[in-house]
Structure 1
């Protein structure tokens, strides 16, 4: 497919908007329950003489490039609309100059685009269309009785370009749209289509102001001399007579400050040198220049201020985006932007007008506006799941924050905010739990793609990624949120053989894949499991009886660790007699004998053991370690070997006069109450074993200090966020190099493991599971391995297992209401209410697309509530949907696609259709093309269903631009 966006004719936009609203209760994918209705309209705030419902909106960028984007932003609550930057280089030149994908907002944001990809004239028309559409929507949907929004134009990058005829016409045409024939054409189209509306009247058409913009943001390139910036600003103030905001960069802070600050917050991997800091505008010259410009603006009755902040360039080092350099945004930019604001505010004693954009979102917007900074615009937060709907929450928390005209900056509040931001855990890199990407290994299907990424698995590859045990996580979270712990536990135990243990010490891969990690903080799934188990497991155990046997066959499990206990419980529960042999006196191996008490109590381990015991599993403890597998495989119908890995205790003894101990030795001795270590200790290793070992040693009376050194020279970033707090509280330092350790008396190098039976030929009735097969691994993975073996054995015997998926009935609108709202992590059972129910309604690709190019439609004959269709003409291949789709695919390439021109159809390999007049051209997944006169026949049923739905219910998606 090509990356060319097709602008939609104004009349089609009107019909699309009204049809979607009437038929589906949404506009360009935004549900009407996310429309923001301006409250207390008579007391609406103002800025620069413009009525505003709130002091926020979308920043100049992907959300303000097309008319439908701007309309969607307005409906959601954006009231200050910063139009995407235009410059003399445009259209085809920009499309070829911008590498694709051009946006990556997985965490901190990156982009390699800088101005509109449309021609300047096209952009001009899009902004006029959007201006009129917002007026229509304002009255038709009851959003406000008076105009509650403002547009702000953005131009760049040099005086020569700004003075060109096309940029000059652009500026003048937005100052007074009566100079532009297209404005009148749109008004005439409105009158022709007046019948579409019920509340928007002919009088409202006449009331639409031709003054689209009275403010302008000036963007200049890095390295632009101060004299050139001042010349451009003077021209815009004195010749164009427009209120002006000059975009300023964090380079004003100096290289050393920026580098030190980002390093301290965990962004040490960001690569940049000092050349932009040296070549860009310097702080002192910026202050002097701005003072002169403010005087010139005052003489003209205008305002001159700054927009904080503009781009922060970093080098591409980790393949985030193509090219060599990209611009950073989002939460990592926030502390830099706030510091620029603080320094400038102090230099001007609060009298410098400031607009802001750099990491703002719903959880900090109120505090930003309280300082007097206005308006505050956002971009990165809108590129994440929830998308435009996030503006609704922002607007609802900031309405009526603009009172009167521009006021001075409150320096005390700004100073306090600067301190608050720097201490906010949300801006630290390690606050985002788990791996960077939420994506899993499953292929993105053309149809039925909804997926809860927290639910993974080893037995069903299409569900891979999150929980290896494939627990019904959304269901038990919702039940726990309702306080129904008994029902929640019955859901957990269906797939989880050790709920109390895994509620305490699971490595929780589900959480690193949770969609909420892209909102605020990942759902505390493990904690919720513990809460449920603590409240319901004992009564559940009391209700258990020995399982009825469904087969005469018998199974033997060797080893009562996590994998063995899993296999035993599931086999016995499903009707096969199971015996377990264990060398120790009790079950659960390393969990019982190595994991410290502060992680898990013996009572929790015993509670899980009783689950298997009550079901009738026969345990034989203290039975030795060596077994004759060949003989046992003849005695039992099935043998499951779950004996754990082989431990290699290398490095024992002395090292340059220092005592050397193994982590497992320390943990086992501590658990048995026999630990005897003294002096200063260095723990070499990473992961939970190293952390546990350090924390155990710190509790020893004769140990004076403990430090942890990562084994592979990695920085302290490997330590999970929550664990850092424990280590800090207990006085344990994490160091990056041996030199930092100084002198120490005892060295701990960690344990190494190998699989006992990896590569060993299997007898047909012998299964090797867990760590004895894979080497060291997470307990949840070992449990999943045991479950998979049990499922295979049951299948061989024709016994239907009871791993049935349980689904709660949810109203779709209840799910949509939760989307787009940032919420801080909650305590107790309320945490479950933060679940977004991705397996019922995912639609993330529709939310994160700024151009609205991915849509969800109703169609018959599918498992998912809605099907995703891609609208090629609205896509510029920014790639943002790819980064957030939980599958491994790319929605803009892999989903069923609607094309608007033959050129675009031929330039693509996507499965999809082109409607040209009465002819429908279809390309199948193998690339075969068929043409049909009228409605297609004979195609695969699901394809037929999608095409029929588009023709009958969504004809507005089937634009025929070749036929115009």
Structure 2
């Protein structure tokens, strides 16, 4: 496919808008329009109904982008920058993909990729479309929004014919063919709106933001701005680069907030505009503008240039924005506001979103533009919430910046969780599967769960306070709702789409609520199954979570089962090892009661009989769920105790070694031991790890809890010896990143020591293979057997087969084993009212909502009902939701509107890139032929289409016999019939 975009005509633009609105009530995929209350703010001799909108960038490049933003609530549009280099020449300089907005945002593109004349036409089309939309759809007053031009990067280019023609046309487009075409089309399409159409002003823009490249000399900046003010008579903002702060300030702010990995040196800080030169220049420019009755201000800020170090984008340098730019930009705003005593107008861009927009506006900083937030899931729909937040505030003409207020905001940003970088790198958000061509809507939380729990459904039942039904649904696949509701590693939450909004839905906590509130009624409703009488009989070796789960699933199917447990209690590690402050006895007992209800026989204090003995006793199937109980070895001299035994003794009330405790390791068990040591009376508890916190394997949540409890951390050390109340460690340093970005520790030859009486070795438990080999079960070189062993009807699951794993992985193995015994996969009964409606799911898109008591059901985005993330995040609206006659919704990729920015690939829950992997509509044969990766179709004459599908290219006659699968044929026919404006 080509990265070159082909703009759509104004007639097509308006046909798309009206047809989609009439059918769906949406415009370019934005479903909830913003309806302003009637307040306005003055700027540049014009008015705006909301003081925010998209920054110059991907969201103001095409007409449809601007229209989508307007429908969502934006009323100030900083149009994408134009310069003398444009079109194919500029596009060839941009590496693809060019946007990475997964967390903080990076990009390696800058000016419009259209030609300057094309850009002009796009802005005129968008201007006329928004004007008529305000009247047609009650979106406010037609004169309630402003277009702000952005130009760069040198005076020669700005004064050149290409850009000069652009400026003149934007200042008055009355005589331009595109403006006249737009007015003519509007009269034809909406004859009843003649007066409104005739009132559309040809003055598209009266203001400009000067965008300066890094390294642009101050003299050139002043010459360009002076020209724009004095010669062109434009209200002018000058965009300032974050390098104005100075290298040391920028580096220290980013380092203290966890962005120490972002690489940059000081060359931009030396080459860019210096603060000492900037301030007097801005005073001179302000006076020039004031003398001519024009407004002058600063745009804070440009993106921040950093080095590509981990292959983030296919370039050597990229530009940082988003949450990490917010503290830099607010610090710039505070410094400049002090310099000008709050009297200089500041426009803002740099990590603004629904969480901070009101704070910026209250400080007197507006208009506020943004790019990163609308590049994330929710897309342009995020503007609606922002508009509603601002519409509740008092509007008044610019009266100055609150110097103390912006200074306080800059400082508080450095402690704000939504701007701080997580201690640990982001976990993998994507599923392992590739996106299917059709029917791709999926809940990534469910895909990330080893048992594929029906998460959105039980979340919805809890929202409706149907806790018994929710728990019944949970226990269809989950035998341990209390245990998993308390200590599950909740990988589902790392996949949750809401991670890209604020915080994940608190899935684990919601499960526990369902368990606690639905348990008694569920137990009362359970019925014992009819016993199986065909001779099947199962022995389970091990009464931990995996064994309990297997007994539950089998007992529910009526198959006799016996659990052999060598300890005096069922429950395994959660009951005997994990500290009581993590999970209670009562919770575990309730899970065991679910198992015993179905009749499982339990033999405690019973060593496992051999396989041959069990078969002689009549057991037809045997499941080893014995865990990984062999202690990992920390080969250093001194008082070293294995973590599992230490925690087991502590929980059993036995005396354990304490004093100054050092826990060596970095997993969740190490966190448990370090926290438990403090509760048990240790003088200090220090976690010793050879890498840094960033690379620690423990869950981020467990790491944070350990920090809160007062556990000390000694990073980048390797223990050598414990003796005389001290632990001697060799200091390590991190080597170069490997292919996965992981940096191995390298010895330095230097040593340090800490107070230490007890070393707890939490260096990973291992599978004891002796039990398996003694029974003739084959193991691999690591001593681990396969799930299906070499012995007939003998299986292994949980830690014994995986090594140290999670409870929910053990439950998954238990279900696999039970299915093998039962001979089928049980059908899950999902209540009808467990599904959110499409309207309910769409209503939650674009709404930032952090966790709070009782609102998790309202926060779930119900991705299994409505995903369409690729459509939401596409700046150009190149991924379109198509409604089929049977009411299914499919994604169509529109080749002509895509510039391969790659944003949809970042956020698609699958391990795929929708712009390459979804069914594609082509405009030309040339585009079809060069896009060999894309399956899709090109309309031909009549009812024929050229199709690429499953590696084959062929013509298909839609009126006759063809090779198309029925669902693909229906898809194509629907596009041709109901979405002809896409062609």
Q: TM-score by structure 2 length?
A: 0.92
Deviation of 1:748 after TM superposition, in Å, equals 2.5
Query: Residues of 2 paired with 1:931 and 1:191: CA distance?
Result: 40
Query: Residues of 2 paired with 1:243 and 1:730: CA distance?
Result: 55
1:536-935 to structure 2, matched below 5 A, reads 536-552=518-534, 553-625=536-608, 627-633=609-615, 635-651=618-634, 654-655=637-638, 659-701=639-681, 703-715=682-694, 720-738=699-717, 742-755=754-767, 756=769, 757=779, 758-759=784-785, 761-795=789-823, 801-805=826-830, 808-827=834-853, 829-860=854-885, 865-909=888-932, 910-918=934-942, 920-932=944-956, 935=959
User: Counterpart of 2:268?
Assistant: 276
Extract unaligned runs of 5+ from structure 2.
718-730, 732-751, 770-778
Query: Residues of 2 paired with 1:426 and 1:10: CA distance?
Result: 40
> In structure 1, which of residues 183, 186, 189 is the aligned counterpart of residue 185 of structure 2?
189
User: Counterpart of 1:416?
Assistant: 408
* 1:777 match: secondary structure: coil
Query: Residues of 1 paired with 2:959 and 2:247: CA distance?
Result: 63
Deviation of 1:228 after TM superposition, in Å, equals 1.6
CA separation of 1:793/1:202 partners in 2, compared to 1, >3 Å: closer, same or farther? same
> In structure 2, which of residues 354, 360, 373 is the aligned counterpart of residue 381 of structure 1?
373
- Contact residue 505 and residue 860 of structure 2 kept, 8 A: yes
- Contact residue 34 and residue 72 of structure 2 kept, 8 A: yes
Deviation of 1:652 after TM superposition, in Å, equals 6.6
User: Counterpart of 1:204?
Assistant: 196
User: Counterpart of 2:306?
Assistant: 314
Query: Residues of 1 paired with 2:865 and 2:303: CA distance?
Result: 38
Q: Deviation per CA, 1:419-463: give whole Å up to 9, x if none.
A: 3322211112228x984442101121110101000002xxxxxxx
1:454-465 to structure 2, matched below 5 A, reads 454-456=445-447
CA separation of 1:326/1:229 partners in 2, compared to 1, >3 Å: closer, same or farther? same
Query: Residues of 2 paired with 1:442 and 1:936: CA distance?
Result: 35
* 2:484 match: secondary structure: helix
Query: Residues of 1 paired with 2:261 and 2:247: CA distance?
Result: 15
CA separation of 1:183/1:401 partners in 2, compared to 1, >3 Å: closer, same or farther? farther
User: Counterpart of 2:36?
Assistant: 38
Query: Residues of 1 paired with 2:874 and 2:791: CA distance?
Result: 52
User: Counterpart of 2:160?
Assistant: 164
CA separation of 1:847/1:676 partners in 2, compared to 1, >3 Å: closer, same or farther? same
CA separation of 1:791/1:202 partners in 2, compared to 1, >3 Å: closer, same or farther? same
Q: Does 1:143 align with 2:139?
A: yes
Query: Residues of 1 paired with 2:899 and 2:529: CA distance?
Result: 59
Query: Residues of 1 paired with 2:688 and 2:546: CA distance?
Result: 31
Deviation of 1:235 after TM superposition, in Å, equals 1.5
Cα RMSD between the aligned structures?
2.0
Query: Residues of 2 paired with 1:151 and 1:300: CA distance?
Result: 21
CA separation of 1:278/1:675 partners in 2, compared to 1, >3 Å: closer, same or farther? farther
Query: Residues of 2 paired with 1:637 and 1:242: CA distance?
Result: 87
Query: Residues of 1 paired with 2:145 and 2:309: CA distance?
Result: 40
- Contact residue 106 and residue 437 of structure 1 kept, 8 A: no
1:436-585 to structure 2, matched below 5 A, reads 436-456=427-447, 466-552=448-534, 553-585=536-568
Query: Residues of 1 paired with 2:537 and 2:958: CA distance?
Result: 63
- Contact residue 81 and residue 110 of structure 2 kept, 8 A: yes
* 1:354 match: secondary structure: strand
Query: Residues of 2 paired with 1:924 and 1:297: CA distance?
Result: 58
User: Counterpart of 1:254?
Assistant: 246
- Contact residue 45 and residue 51 of structure 1 kept, 8 A: yes
Moved more, 895-904 or 410-419: 410-419
CA separation of 1:653/1:674 partners in 2, compared to 1, >3 Å: closer, same or farther? farther
Deviation of 1:573 after TM superposition, in Å, equals 0.4
Query: Residues of 2 paired with 1:254 and 1:11: CA distance?
Result: 49
- Contact residue 561 and residue 601 of structure 2 kept, 8 A: yes
Query: Residues of 1 paired with 2:884 and 2:219: CA distance?
Result: 60
Extract unaligned runs of 5+ from structure 1.
457-465, 959-964
Q: Deviation per CA, 1:679-717: give whole Å up to 9, x if none.
A: 32222211211111111111233x222222324455477
> In structure 2, which of residues 28, 44, 59 is the aligned counterpart of residue 63 of structure 1?
59
Query: Residues of 2 paired with 1:653 and 1:846: CA distance?
Result: 56
CA separation of 1:545/1:749 partners in 2, compared to 1, >3 Å: closer, same or farther? same
Q: TM-score by structure 1 length?
A: 0.93
CA separation of 1:681/1:376 partners in 2, compared to 1, >3 Å: closer, same or farther? same
Deviation of 1:468 after TM superposition, in Å, equals 0.6
- Contact residue 918 and residue 934 of structure 1 kept, 8 A: no
* 2:206 match: secondary structure: strand
CA separation of 1:511/1:675 partners in 2, compared to 1, >3 Å: closer, same or farther? farther
Q: Deviation per CA, 1:223-260: give whole Å up to 9, x if none.
A: 11222211211121111111111111221222222222
CA separation of 1:895/1:955 partners in 2, compared to 1, >3 Å: closer, same or farther? same
CA separation of 1:742/1:937 partners in 2, compared to 1, >3 Å: closer, same or farther? same
* 2:687 match: secondary structure: strand
Deviation of 1:81 after TM superposition, in Å, equals 0.6
User: Counterpart of 1:126?
Assistant: 122
* 2:850 match: secondary structure: coil
Q: Deviation per CA, 1:81-128: give whole Å up to 9, x if none.
A: 110011111101122110111111111111110011100000010000
- Contact residue 735 and residue 741 of structure 1 kept, 8 A: no
Q: How many residues align?
A: 929
1:69-88 to structure 2, matched below 5 A, reads 69-88=65-84
Deviation of 1:142 after TM superposition, in Å, equals 1.1
Query: Residues of 2 paired with 1:556 and 1:803: CA distance?
Result: 26
Q: Deviation per CA, 1:141-194: give whole Å up to 9, x if none.
A: 111234111000101111121111101111111111124232122212222323
Q: Deviation per CA, 1:835-891: give whole Å up to 9, x if none.
A: 111111111111011111111112246xx8301111111111111111111111211
User: Counterpart of 2:979?
Assistant: 954
Deviation of 1:18 after TM superposition, in Å, equals 1.2
Query: Residues of 2 paired with 1:718 and 1:420: CA distance?
Result: 30
1:360-399 to structure 2, matched below 5 A, reads 360-399=352-391
User: Counterpart of 1:463?
Assistant: none
- Contact residue 632 and residue 766 of structure 2 kept, 8 A: no
Deviation of 1:532 after TM superposition, in Å, equals 1.4
* 1:867 match: secondary structure: strand
